[in-house]
């Protein structure tokens, strides 16, 4: 043993911290060895259904689902048949705030075909969320939102079967939780690149909420990414992780329904910006945490003004009827009032703590 | 100041790498760009050909694989080009990563490797020791999604043009630590020990220990 190596006493081994990440990767490799079927998932989402994605999942479970552990591939991405799958992990800094424990690596899908992937485990009672993730992501892509590309998902019939959703890794993509925001606020005008990223996020959220019957469901900073990253001359923001999304098949009944979708998402952004990165429970990305000043005005300048401006632009461009215009204006007025209260609450909480 | 720089939405050059990732350095005339070809999108850094002295300074860094990417130009070309990974980005925009496991690149590992990289530079030139003349965070790049065992921090192409002889009374380690502390403030204080360990290990390796 060299002088730099440390000998660990046998009795101390039980006290070593468990490497959950290594466990997750080991479990995934075991799951790949247990795969009995690899086949394309053929069910399409029908947007004339009242609840398009839950209905698509029902049809999948009724007509396509295998009894054994199966890798269902996205036929739009993997055209050729696949007969075996192997995984080799990669080391990264991004994606570490994912509450699911996303990890990255390469999937070897037979001779000569290797795809870099991000793997998201859906464990125990959350197994079925991998179906939500896959079908929501496909649906939101069909509706014109840009996001990650689904490669497929692993799912089995038995309760002990693991479940994973697998997306194509975009090496140039990084999420807002991988940015150090500590120097951004209050001197936001001195950081035009960072401001442009938030403007892109606001525009994406506005595009999602404009029809009034859609929400992301978990719009924290870790689920907002810069697509293309390096390989773009402009800031191109996308939203990620659609497993909690709601996608309605019918127009919203009234302003209240519209508000329920937009407020749930934007208040999550607010919380993410206001909370510190240093806490274990519901860590934020630390835009406002630890800073003095009027956080509400800061939030308006960084995100909300761009969001509201874009929502009104879309309303103008879509030649909406008078009732829709009234509903959207009512929704946005109520949204602004609620968010002001939300930001004030987080600033008060920060002062107390 | 930490930012992704000025945003140019009206840029006519559609292949310039986004400001958040851009590793170009105006002071040495380097340009960070990408091109689309049928086999995919590839990213490059180009810069004017180096002088003979700069080539000499670059050689040991290149031999040890400490410079980002693969140099593609011939020795005789007026400019040279490096093919670099899509995920490579400037060090200064890194958020903290302090937990997780064997497949996470944590702050402790990052700053240890930075110490090792900068320590290697300090001991590369024998009786003619060199140091980085500019803010050191401007010549360091981080690559994500690497295979286990692969290096994650590198010098950016053209670093040899920013080296100056180190006066005997100047501590390169102290100067680099000061610059990292300016950029990362309290975060660096927490992991400075790992930086110093990396620097010391590089020195020991250079002495053949």
Extents of the domains making up chain B:
26-84, 89-206
Q: Report the C-alpha gap between A188 and A183 in whole angstroms.
A: 9
Q: Give the sheet arrangement for strand B140-142, strand by strand.
A: B89-90, B140-142, B153-155
Contact A179 B95 (CB under 8 A): yes
Whether the pLDDT of residue B4 is over 90: the answer is: no
Mean pLDDT, chain A, integer: 89
- pLDDT band of residue A4 (cuts 50, 70, 90) is very low
CB contact under 8 A, B43 and A231: yes
Answer yes or no: is the ipTM higher than 0.85: no
The yes-or-no verdict on residue A337 having pLDDT over 80 is: yes
Our CA angle for B65, B69, B71, nearest 5°, is: 90
Distance CA A275, CA A347 (A): 9
How far does chain B reach from its first CA to its final CA, in angstroms? 39
Which stretches does DSSP call E strand in chain A? 37-40, 70-73, 86-89, 103-108, 114-122, 150-155, 163-168, 174-175, 214-215, 224-226, 237-239, 246-247
Alpha-carbon distance A33 to A20, whole Å? 20
pLDDT bracket for residue A346 (50, 70, 90): very high
pLDDT at residue A8, as a whole number: 47
Residues of A in contact with B6 (CB under 8 A): 192-193
Cα A255 to Cα A241: distance, rounded to the nearest angstrom: 26
DSSP, residue by residue, A26-66: HHHHHHHHH--EEEE--PPP-TTSSSHHHHHHHHHHHHT--
Torsion sign over Cα A21, A24, A28, A30: positive
Select the residue of A92, A183, A230 nearest B17 (Cβ to Cβ): A230
Asked if B15's CB is within 8 angstroms of A233's CB, the reply is: yes
Residue A344: both structure tokens together: 């004030």
CB atoms within 10 A of CB A135: 28
* Closest CA relative to residue A353, chosen from A279, A256, A254, A251: A279
What is the arithmetic mean of pLDDT over A35-44? 91
DSSP A192-218: HHHHHHHHHHHHHHHHHHTTSSEE-S-
Residues of B in contact with A96 (CB under 8 A): 97, 99-100, 104
The pLDDT of residue A135 is above 90? yes
Confidence of residue B7 (pLDDT cuts 50, 70, 90): very low
Q: Report the C-alpha gap between B203 and B209 in whole angstroms.
A: 9
Measured CA to CA in angstroms, residue A28 lies from A22, A115, A203, B57 at distances of 10, 16, 36, 46
Of A22, A232, A285, the CB nearest to B18: A232
Interchain contact, A230 vs B152, CB within 8 Å: no
Q: What is the mean pLDDT of residues B176-190?
A: 89
Instruction: For residue A143, give both structure tokens.
Output: 């509706």
Domain boundaries, chain A: 10-168, 174-352
Q: Is the pLDDT of residue B101 over 90?
A: no
Q: The tokens of B68 are what?
A: 């980002």
Average pLDDT over residues A294-312: 97
Q: Looking at chain B, which runs of residues are DSSP E strands? A: 31-37, 40-48, 70-71, 79-84, 89-90, 130-132, 140-142, 153-155, 163-165
Q: Which residue has the higher pLDDT, A119 or B12?
A: A119
Q: B152 pLDDT exceeds 90?
A: yes
Average pLDDT over residues A240-249: 95
H or E segment and range at residue B113:
helix B107-122
The CATH number of the structural domain formed by A10-168 is: 3.30.200.20
Whether A156 and A69 have beta carbons less than 8 Å apart is answered as yes
Confidence of residue A353 (pLDDT cuts 50, 70, 90): low
Q: Which residues of B touch A287 (CB under 8 A)?
A: none
Answer whether residue A169 shows pLDDT above 80: yes
Confidence of residue B209 (pLDDT cuts 50, 70, 90): confident
Spatial contact of A141 and A120, defined as CB atoms under 8 Å apart:
no
What average pLDDT does the segment A312-329 reach?
93
Of B4, B101, B185, the CB nearest to A19: B101
Tokens of A125: 């009672």
Condensed to tens digits (0 to 9), the pLDDT of residues A171-230 reads 877 788 888 898 899 999 988 888 988 999 999 999 999 999 999 999 999 899 887 555
**Which range is least confidently modeled, A16-30, A292-306, B194-208?**
A16-30
Please, are residues B146 and B47 in contact by the beta-carbon 8 Å criterion? no
B92 CA to chain A: closest CA distance, Å?
8
Mean pLDDT of chain B: 87
Cα angle value A147/A148/A150 (rounded, 5°): 125
Judge whether A247 and A192 are in contact, CB under 8 Å. Answer: no
């Amino acid at each position: 043993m060299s002088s730099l190596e440390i000998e660990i006493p046998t009795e101390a081994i039980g006290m070593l911290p468990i490497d959950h990440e290594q466990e997750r990767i080991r479990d995934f490799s075991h799951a790949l060895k247990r795969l009995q079927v690899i086949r394309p998932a053929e069910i399409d989402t029908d947007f004339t259904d009242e609840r398009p994605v839950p209905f698509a999942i029902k049809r999948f479970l009724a007509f396509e689902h295998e009894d054994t552990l199966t890798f269902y591939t996205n036929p739009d991405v993997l055209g050729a048949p696949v007969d075996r799958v192997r995984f080799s992990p990669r080391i990264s800094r991004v994606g570490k705030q994912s509450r699911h424990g996303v990890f990255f690596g390469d999937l070897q899908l037979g001779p000569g075909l290797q795809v870099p992937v991000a793997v998201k485990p859906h464990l125990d009672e959350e197994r079925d969320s991998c179906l939500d993730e896959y079908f929501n992501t496909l649906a939101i892509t069909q509706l014109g939102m840009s996001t990650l590309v689904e490669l497929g998902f692993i799912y089995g019939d038995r309760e002990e079967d693991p479940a994973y959703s697998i997306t194509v890794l975009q090496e140039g993509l990084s999420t807002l939780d991988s940015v150090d925001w500590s120097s951004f606020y209050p001197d936001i005008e001195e950081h035009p690149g960072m401001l442009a990223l938030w403007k892109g996020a606001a525009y994406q959220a506005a595009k999602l909420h404009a029809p009034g019957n859609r929400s992301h469901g978990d719009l924290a900073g870790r689920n907002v990414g810069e697509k293309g990253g390096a390989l773009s001359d402009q800031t191109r923001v996308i939203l990620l992780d659609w497993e909690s999304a709601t996608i309605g098949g019918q127009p919203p009944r009234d302003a209240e329904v519209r508000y329920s979708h937009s407020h749930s998402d934007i208040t999550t952004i607010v919380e993410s910006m206001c909370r510190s990165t240093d806490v274990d429970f519901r860590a934020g990305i630390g835009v406002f945490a630890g800073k003095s000043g009027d956080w509400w005005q800061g939030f308006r300048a960084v995100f909300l003004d761009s969001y509201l401006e874009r929502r009104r632009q879309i309303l103008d461009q879509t030649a909406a009827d008078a009732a829709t215009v009234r509903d959207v204006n009512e929704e946005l007025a109520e949204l602004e009032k609620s968010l002001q209260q939300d930001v004030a609450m987080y600033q008060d909480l920060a002062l107390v703590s | 100041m930490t930012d992704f720089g000025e945003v140019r939405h009206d840029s006519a050059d559609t292949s310039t790498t986004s400001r958040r990732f851009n590793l170009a350095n105006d002071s040495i005339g380097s340009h960070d760009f990408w091109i689309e070809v049928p086999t995919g999108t590839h990213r490059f850094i180009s810069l004017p050909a180096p002088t003979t002295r700069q080539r000499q300074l670059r050689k040991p860094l290149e031999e040890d694989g400490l410079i980002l990417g693969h140099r593609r130009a011939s020795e005789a070309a007026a400019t040279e080009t490096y093919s670099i990974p899509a995920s490579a980005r400037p060090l200064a925009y890194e958020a903290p990563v302090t937990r997780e496991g064997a497949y996470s690149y944590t702050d402790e590992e990052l700053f240890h490797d930075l110490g090792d990289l900068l320590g290697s530079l300090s001991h590369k030139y024998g009786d003619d020791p060199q140091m980085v003349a500019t803010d050191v965070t401007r010549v360091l790049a981080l690559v994500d999604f690497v295979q286990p065992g692969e290096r994650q921090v590198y010098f950016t192409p053209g670093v040899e043009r920013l080296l100056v002889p180190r006066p005997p009374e100047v501590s390169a380690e102290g100067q680099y630590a000061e610059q990292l502390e300016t950029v990362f403030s309290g975060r660096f204080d927490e992991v400075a020990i790992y930086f110093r360990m990396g620097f010391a290990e590089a020195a020991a390796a250079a002495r053949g220990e």
